Structure formats: C-alpha cells, structure tokens
Structure 1
Amino acid sequence: MLQEWIASALVPHVPWTKQQMVDLLEIPPQPQMGDVAFPCFTLAKTFKKSPADIAKELAAQFDGRDGIQAEAAGPYVNFRLDRKRYEQQIMDELTVSDQRPNLGKGEKVLIDMSSPNIAKPMGIGHLRSTMIGAALYNMYKLAGYDVASINHLGDWGTQFGKQIAAYKRWGNDEAIAANPIKESLKLYVQFHEEAPHDETLEPEARDWFRKLESGDEEAYRLWKYFVDVSLKEFQRMYDRLGVSFDYTLGESFYNDKMDAVVDQLRDQHLLEESEGALVVRLDEEGMPPCLIIKTDGTTIYPTRDLATALYRHDVLKGDKLLYVVGGEQRLHFQQVFAVLRRMGADWVDQCEHVPFGLMRFEGKKMSTRRGKIVYLEEVLDEAVARALQIIEEKNSSLEHKEEVAEAVGIGAIIFGDLKNNRLNEVDFSLEEALNFDGETGPYLQYTYARTQSVLSKGRAAGEPESGTAGPDQAVNGQLGDSGWELLKLLTRFPDQLKRGIQNNEPSVMARYALDVAQAFNHFYNKERIVTEDSSLREARLKLTELTGASLARTMHLLGLKTPQRM
C-alpha cells in the first residue's frame, strides 16, 4: 500500500513502470529514517550520475504539498508520509480490503504432507511435515490458488514384511487389541533387536512382503488390519491439530500404476541392468543411478513416486506439485525429478521438494526402529495440562478454561515449530514453547485476547461529547509514534504472504505475527487507547480492531486458534 503510493509519486520522475519501482522500494531499518526508502543504485547507468547525486535530485522534487516529504540519505531517498493526511486513509483501506493478493489466479497446487507410516504411532517428528504443509495450504489458498492436500501414507514396502513376520513370531492378539499402535511398534522394534542375532528373520520378512505383493490372503488380511487401526489413530491426532486432507492416498494406491511406468521406461530405453537390478542412469546429472526394480523383482520408492507424480499431474490435474518431506530425502527427489525429465515430462519444473530440518526432542534424535520415539499425543496432552495449570494460576475464574487450555497448549506446539526457518533443525522444548512472554504461540494468543479486551472496554465507554484534543494528542496524528509504526506494519501483510509463498516458508508469517504482536503491545503501553477524547478513542480503537483482525488472520494461516479471553 505505502510502496504503491510512493511508486505512483515517483512515476513522473523515473523512466520506469510503477511495478518496477514497487519491487525496488524498501522499508527503512529504523523508523526515524522514514516510512519508505528508494535505492538509486540501478538508476546510475540510466542518468549517468552517482546514486547519491540522483537521490538529491529526486528528493528535491518533493516539497510535501502532496503529503509526501523526501530526504536524500547517501544513495537512498527516504520518504515520509504526512500522518494527519494518511492515518485515516490507511485505516479506511485496511477496513475494506481483505488483503488477499491474487497470486495464484486459480493455478492448482497439490501439497504432499504429513505422510506417516502405517503401524507406527505419530511422534513429535511427524509434526513438521504436517504443520508446515497445513500452513502452506492455507497460505496458497488465501493467495488465490486452487489447493489440495494429500496424505501420502506409508502403507506399503518391506517394513510390512517385517511387521507381519514379527506379529507371526511374537504377536499377542489380546495385547494388540488393547493398544494396537504401541503394540505394533513394540513388535517392529523387537524385530530390529532380534534380526542381528537371527539370520532367518530378514529372509522371512522379505518372503512376507513378496506374498503381500502377490495378493496372499493372510498377508493382505494382516496388512489391512494394521492400516485400519492406524488410520483411526491418525485421525484423532489430525482432529486435535485442526488438520484435514483432500486426498488420503497411500503408497498402495499406486500398486497397479507402476507397471505402466516401468514399461514406459523400458520403451524409452532408459532402463539398464545393474547387478541384477533395473536402474535409470543419471551420470549426466551428476547423480547415482535411480533404482527402479530391486534384484528380487520388487518395486521401490522411486518407482512409486514416479507413478505418483504422473497421477497427480495427469489425473488430479496439478499444475504445481509440492512435496513437504524431510531434507534427508533431497537426493531421492532429485533423482525422481531427473527421471521424469528423461521421460519427457516438461512439467517437472513445477515439481518441488520442500525440505525441512530434523526435529529433536531435548537434543535427542528419534528412531522408530529403536523405539526412541516421543509420542505426539503425549506431548499434546502435556502441553494442554501445563497450559491449564498456568490458566488456573493466572485466571482461575476464566470460562471454558479447558477449551482455552486445549487451544493454548496445542497452539504452543504448532507455533514452536513454525516460527523456525523450515531448513533449520529444531530442538523442541515444551517449557520454552509455553512461555507467555517469549516468541511463542501463547504470547500471540494472549496479545489477540488483549485486543478483544480493549475493544470490549472501548465499546463500554460509550460516546461522550467530543471536545478538543486531550493532552495525549500526538503532534503528527492521533495514533502516536507507536501507533503509526503499528499501522504501517499492518499494511505489509500481502507482501509477507507473497514472500512466504515464494519461499514456501511459513516462518515468514510466524515472524510477521510476532512483529505485529510486539508492535501492538508497545502501542498499548505507550498510548491511552480508551481515552476520554472520542476522536482519539475512535482512531485508536480502530487500530486495535485492525490489529486483532490481522493477528487472527495470520494465526489461522498457521493453525492457531484465537481465544477471546485468556
């Protein structure tokens, strides 16, 4: 908004389009430097002058009569807007605008996310793909894309041979019926503990998987049981996290679609034999061969992901395919995309692996094979219990406090992940995530509740007679310095959303939400909002209302709920 106004004012003086200048304009690092800055470096060649001289000449063109003042600062022109003229105009535009940049124009984006393995409990490590994917879904949708989320369940592969073999050896039907997921994990862990000492286990597992692939009735019955109980368990977790999917299509869905992929690779003379296996060589791309068929004749992940990509593009009509999968799978996706390109799929340029760093819990890496897993449900329960304890201590008379504790506890877990750059490793700390004073979900929720409390008090104050400006009247406008900085920040939502989408980075929106919350709390502490002067009160309450709406919109993008009271 501000950048567009300044760009319009620059058009008569610079031989560029308005959009070119909007793209160049910056926000000064310090408020005292101005509201918007224009760097003159790229004009040096056009005007054949130094950037500093160009900045002085441009600044001289603005005398403030149009509400815009300019000052040269080295190679920059720093612009200041007249607050008396622009405060109300900005608030009016924010009131009528939904701040939804139509970036997508209906382009269809398919997001592969969450994708837990069947017969394994959801651990805290599953949180990253699930919530990064859910946030990206919301961000793309708000920006005008046609979005669909896909839960690509790990419901096929050699691990099921191991699971069935372990069940056949040590399974207890009564124990499994009582706690199917944890008991299944126990059997899986036992398999990996026993395998180094029992050379018959691995061949037995491979044999069960071959039976499963060939349609053996007993193998299929056991596999279906593990799938069904797992889906039921997963759904409970997704419901608590507020996450849903447009498609739940496991790896098994593509079983009848892989032969066509293998046939196409063979017809295109891309398959080569290597030590009894079939591969696509990627020497020219500087990568190792992509394994398509293993030596025992069974399929493997790349085969399935080739079929998956083709289905999503050809049948689901995805224009852009995103894979929110851990960074350790980087080479795998590079190979799959390279093979697709060899197959003639020119749309592969719209396929993107969205990697993320490892999540540790108190410094420990998790492994389902070794049973080192921190159950997501236990973490959520603990977070909610601690949130309820804090509420009891601070506001024991709060209505619906159990419901608020659920929103705060789970919001703390979600935001504790999403505030981090997705490529960074996250060492999760429950104590840190629940801090009401830090850069946390509870801090955002508390700040939102504060805006609603202020609005409630403001409405209760009534409408006394308007007099002259009171002693807290700001020199440059009705909002004060802190209110002006907050108002400018609220205009930046569309730019932040655009940047978050361009980088597939939800942390952009998380940091923006923190900036807005911190700016509002500064405004709240510096200025009287519910003042006796009705003109000041009206303007400051309007800013409070806009702040609450901005916080709610951004928090909902990230998957956080917004309790009215805390």
Structure 2
Amino acid sequence: MEKHIFALQLSHLLGETFTREWIYEQIETPKQASLGDLAFPCFQLAKTFRKSPSDIAAELAPKIKHDVFSDAKSNGGYLNVFLNQSFVTDHTLKQVLTDPSLYGHHDFGDGKTIVLDMSAPNIAKPFSMGHLRSTVIGNAIANLAKKCGYETIKINYIGDYGTQFGKLLAAYNKWGDEQKIKANPLKQLTKIYVKFHEAASENPSLVEEGRDWFKKLEQQDPEALQLWKWFKEVSLEEFNKIYELLGISFDLTRGEAYYNNKMEPTFDLLKEKGLLEESEGAQVVRLDQENLPPCLIRKSNGTTIYATRDLTAAIDRFQSYQFDEALYVVGHEQTLHFQQVKRVLEKMGFSWAKNVKHIPFGMMLKDGKKMSTRQGKTILLEEVLKEAVQKASINIEEKSPSLKDKSEVAKQVGVGAVIFHDLKHDRRNDVEFSLDDMLTFEGNTAPYLQYAYVRASSLLTKGNFDHEVTSTELGDSLTWPLVKLIREYPYVVKESYANYDPSKIAKYLLDLAKAFNKYYAESKILESDNLNAKLTLVYAFTIVLKDGLALLGIETPEKM
C-alpha cells in the first residue's frame, strides 16, 4: 500500500514526464533501516529538472505527506521516507486478523484458468530425484496461482510412449524375468533397460530392434500392448506412493499414449495449412523464419515423435479447459522443443498459443553431473524421503520422546526438508544433490521454519492467547522489523507468481522466521505488560508462516 501511495504522490509532484508505473519500479528499500523504510533515487530526474539529485530530493521531502508516512528526508540523492510505525502496525495486523485465510490473496486471476503440465515421470523407471523438481516446483506454482485467484488444472503427463519403450520391450524380450519383475517391478525394469544400453554400445543392431518393437506398439501388436500395459500399471502404483508421501495430487493423470488415435486431425490441419514438408523421408514443419530448426512431426519409418503428441495434447487441453495460460514445468534442456511446439501451434492459427509457456528449471546434479537412468546413475526419491523421515524420527525420539503422533510429525519434518531443499533455490539454477544439506535440521531449512512455528504456537498457549480478543497497540520498536516483513507477504506472493518462482517465498519465509526468532530472543514477551498486543503479533506471524509453507507444499506440525 505505502509503496503505491509514495509512487502516486511523486507522480503528482513530478508531472507527466515520469509515469506512476515508472516511479513505482524505481522505489527500493534502503540497505540500512536507519535511513528509512522506502527510498526513491532522484538521479534520473537531474537532466529533466536541471538540478542535482540532492537538491531535487531536498525539495520533494517536505511535500510528501500522508498518514502512512512519519517523515521524509533527503540523503545523497535519495528521497527516503519513514513509515508511521503505529499506523502501519495497526493496519497490517487488522488485515491479517480480519480473515487469516485471505491474507496475501490476490484476485487478478479470478475467472481465469491455468493448466500446468508437471511431474511427468516415465513409466518403468523409478521416481528419481531428477523428477522431484518438476513435481514440487509445479505444485508450488499451482498453489501460488490459486492464491492469486486462478482456477488450476494440474496434469501429470506420464511418459508412457516413445522409442525408449521400444527399447524396454526389446530388453524384456531378451532378458526379462516375469517373477523378478512382479517382485520388484521398477528396479528390475530399470536393470534390463540399463543392460540394453550397455549391450547396444557393443551391438548397434539392438537399437534397430528397439525401433521395431516401438513400431509394433504403435501398430497395436497384442504382445507389445500387453507388456506395455503391465509396465504402466505397476509404475503408476509405485508413483502414487511417492505422491501420497509428498502430499501432492493431480486433477488429471494422462500419458502420451492417450493421444495415439487422436493425432490424425493434427496431421490434417498441418496439411491444410501447407505446413508439412518432406525431409529425407520424414515429415517436418520448417521454422526457418523463427531461426529454429525444423520440427519433426513424423519419422521416415512412419512413427510419431513426442512433438506430434504435444501438439495434439495442447489442442485437446484448450478444447477441454479454455485455459488462459498453459504452463509446462519441464527442465531447461527441453527449451528448444517447447519453442518449436509453440511456433508450430501459432503457424496452425491458434491465437491461444501465445499463452503457452515453458517454465524451465535447472537439473538435479550428482557430483556436478546429470543423473541418467540409462547409465544406471540415479538417486531414488523414495529412498531419500524414507531416510529423511527416519532421521527426523531419530531426532524427535532424542529431543521429544513423549511427543504424540511422532511418526506423523517425523513425516512432516522429513518430507518438508526434502521439498524445501529444492524450492529454496532459484528454479533456473542447477541443484547439487546433497543428502547432508537436505537433512540438516538447522539453518536455511524447512525444519528451522517448522520449529519457529512451533515455538510461536507454544508462546500463544503459554500466554493463554485468545484470537477473538486481540490488540494492535504495539509501541515496542523491537516489533517493527517483524511487522514490516508480515506486511510484505502479499507483495511477495504476487512477485513469486509473476516470476513463477517459489524460491522468493522460501527466502522470504527464512527472513520472516529469523526476524521472529530475533524478536523472541530480545523481547520478554510473556513477562510484558503489553502481553495481548505482543501475542497478537506472534499470532499474525504464525498465520503468515503456515500459509507460506503451505504454498510450498510443506506442512507445519503443532509440536516438535
């Protein structure tokens, strides 16, 4: 609110040359709190007004007047304003307490629908740490979208088709053991898949066998189809165990194969628009004008490729949901693919293609290298989650042996640690897998945040706080840093969604918890004469912290 008011007042004072939007973007937060709460740099005004930035700031300072500001000062070319702490504290806490579930909520998404393509593991392969990123980033973005008023459709677009499944079928035909696979499906299927690639490096003819098996699958060969359905069923059973542990659900789970018999209309439209061309026996859409390589639509042997299915899926999704945005939360190595798909959709005449967006993210690395199933270099997410929960359970047993629901709390803490370790990083960056860092229960971790929530909840219990009887009359300067951070929450939510970046929420929550812990350490809350007002602030903190963690998909135990 105060940033908008500051920008509005400056736009009136500076005239039409500088728009309110431009002014708003220039406003920043001083590095030192003693300098003020907001700052406007006047350097870019010097040429227009033919005065020094310092003189401009000095002339503007006395003209800044509003209940939300207590003072305005010139400082080295900056116009710094101080907020009225009493006014802002009262306004902020009343905003939080009026309807805690709506604090931080925005309505700019009302009436709009967003479809998210996320997670998308491949069948017949264990759920690796590599697929964690798409899953938790996509889920957090969906939660942020809901917080901003959008209706969200989360789609788990399972990788159940393509040449790799031809290789798997060929591998099973050579080395498959039905009983072993029934006993441990994904481990055994991965084992023969890796063996196929090892053997193919010595005997290239195996690659052709894999292609032949995929062609059989496309032609609905009974044997190939039966094996493929079996592999898919056992895979989904295993995946659902992971999703349940993560607390993540989908509105639609659908594989690539769903579109096998739905691609002809796509081919027909491509032909009708004159977009298909033959290239070395294959059919492509040229994208020379877009400075992109041709998009392969059908291979020379007649088989389709995932671009064909993605085009068909995108058309189907728009017909089903009339989406305002379609977000593909997929690793950055697929950037070219999505550029091609989007351009082909635009060439096909779909105006909504402009709202198809690839949300890329970095890789999960092990020792600086990409994890690879075909090389047998993967870290299984299920094993990591189990170890995280086990470590949390050991810590709880040592520190709180009488705690009720210890197993549930251990799950909340362990799983939360894994999710937060991923989401605290900017999604565009690679993340180095480190079990030790992930399971550290101190520092910049989910357990640190969860413990701050538990500590605050304990204060409320000990102080007999009644959330129906609150006070916002806080005169203690120690409260101000915490109040300011609570006030920032709606802005951080908006920025996090605008950038599709959950790490902004994660970093904000760490700052929020640190501010609370500092306040807790320096202010004798339970011994205060102003107990109700201080507990009201603590209560507001718990509301924001719990809501922020929920946006990331992390639960908050009441006790630890």
The answer to whether the superposition gives a TM-score over 0.5 is yes
Pair 1:152–1:64, CA change in 2 (3 A): closer
2: CA distance, partners of 1:219 / 1:162 = 11
Match of 1:565 in 2: 559
The letter of the residue matching 2:533 is A
Match of 1:143 in 2: 148
Pair 1:84–1:346, CA change in 2 (3 A): closer
Cα contact 1:482–1:519 (8 A) shared by 2: no
Q: Over residues 337-385 of structure 1, what are the superposed CA-to-partner deviations in whole Å (9 max), with x where a residue is unaligned?
A: 1211222223222111111111023545311112211111100011111
Q: Over residues 46-99 of structure 1, what are the superposed CA-to-partner deviations in whole Å (9 max), with x where a residue is unaligned?
A: 655443322111112257987521101133211112323442233222322522
* Offset, 1:25: 3.1
* Offset, 1:403: 1.1
Cα contact 1:112–1:323 (8 A) shared by 2: yes
Deviates more, 1:482-491 or 1:190-199: 190-199
Of the three residues 480, 498, 502, the one matched with 2:476 is 480
Pair 1:479–1:525, CA change in 2 (3 A): farther
Identical counterparts, % of pairs: 48
Of the three residues 161, 165, 188, the one matched with 1:156 is 161
* Offset, 1:268: 1.6
Q: Secondary structure at the match of 1:291?
A: strand
Mind listing any 5+ residue stretches in structure 1 that lack a counterpart?
467-476
* Offset, 1:298: 0.5
Pair 1:103–1:272, CA change in 2 (3 A): same
Cα contact 2:57–2:77 (8 A) shared by 1: yes
Of the three residues 176, 183, 191, the one matched with 1:178 is 183
Match of 2:63 in 1: 61
1:507 matched to 2:512? no
Alignment of 1:224-263 (within 5 A): 224-263=229-268
The letter of the residue matching 2:93 is M
Q: Secondary structure at the match of 2:117?
A: strand
Cα contact 2:104–2:493 (8 A) shared by 1: no
Pair 1:502–1:282, CA change in 2 (3 A): same
Pair 1:64–1:355, CA change in 2 (3 A): closer
Q: Over residues 516-539 of structure 1, what are the superposed CA-to-partner deviations in whole Å (9 max), with x where a residue is unaligned?
A: 011111111111111241xx2112
Cα contact 1:416–1:428 (8 A) shared by 2: no
Cα contact 1:362–1:429 (8 A) shared by 2: no
1: CA distance, partners of 2:361 / 2:510 = 22
Cα contact 1:384–1:409 (8 A) shared by 2: yes
Q: Secondary structure at the match of 1:37?
A: strand
1: CA distance, partners of 2:67 / 2:491 = 28
Cα contact 1:436–1:446 (8 A) shared by 2: no
Alignment of 1:441-520 (within 5 A): 441-459=446-464, 478=474, 480-520=476-516
2: CA distance, partners of 1:66 / 1:514 = 27
Cα contact 1:480–1:527 (8 A) shared by 2: no
* Offset, 1:205: 1.9
* Offset, 1:481: 3.3
Match of 2:72 in 1: 70
Deviates more, 1:490-499 or 1:86-95: 86-95
1:552 matched to 2:546? yes
1:81 matched to 2:77? no
Cα contact 1:277–1:294 (8 A) shared by 2: yes
Pair 1:32–1:299, CA change in 2 (3 A): same
1: CA distance, partners of 2:65 / 2:295 = 65
Q: Over residues 231-286 of structure 1, what are the superposed CA-to-partner deviations in whole Å (9 max), with x where a residue is unaligned?
A: 11111100000111111111011112212112221222211111111111112211
Cα contact 1:435–1:443 (8 A) shared by 2: no
Cα contact 1:555–1:562 (8 A) shared by 2: yes
Of the three residues 410, 419, 423, the one matched with 2:415 is 410
* Offset, 1:44: 4.9
1: CA distance, partners of 2:93 / 2:28 = 21
Match of 1:474 in 2: none
Mind listing any 5+ residue stretches in structure 2 that lack a counterpart?
none
Match of 1:3 in 2: 3
* Offset, 1:116: 0.3
Deviates more, 1:374-383 or 1:60-69: 60-69
Match of 1:166 in 2: 171
2: CA distance, partners of 1:265 / 1:11 = 51
The letter of the residue matching 1:325 is V
TM-score, with structure 1 as normaliser: 0.92
2: CA distance, partners of 1:461 / 1:509 = 29
* Offset, 1:39: 3.2
Cα contact 2:69–2:81 (8 A) shared by 1: no
Q: Secondary structure at the match of 2:412?
A: helix
The letter of the residue matching 2:287 is L
Q: Over residues 459-495 of structure 1, what are the superposed CA-to-partner deviations in whole Å (9 max), with x where a residue is unaligned?
A: 1799xxx9xxxxxxxxxx8353331011011111111
Q: Secondary structure at the match of 2:263?
A: helix
Match of 1:472 in 2: none
1: CA distance, partners of 2:390 / 2:382 = 12
* Offset, 1:197: 3.0
* Offset, 1:292: 0.9
Cα contact 1:434–1:441 (8 A) shared by 2: no
Deviates more, 1:194-203 or 1:141-150: 194-203
Match of 1:470 in 2: none
Q: Secondary structure at the match of 2:526?
A: coil
Alignment of 1:18-167 (within 5 A): 22-41=24-43, 43-44=45-46, 47=49, 49-62=51-64, 68-96=70-98, 98-167=103-172
| Superposition misfits of 4+ residues, deviation over 6 angstroms | 16-20, 63-66
Pair 1:356–1:11, CA change in 2 (3 A): closer
Deviates more, 1:407-416 or 1:90-99: 90-99
Match of 1:543 in 2: 537
Aligned residues: 551
Cα contact 1:478–1:539 (8 A) shared by 2: yes
Alignment of 1:274-423 (within 5 A): 274-423=279-428
Pair 1:104–1:149, CA change in 2 (3 A): same
Cα contact 2:104–2:491 (8 A) shared by 1: no
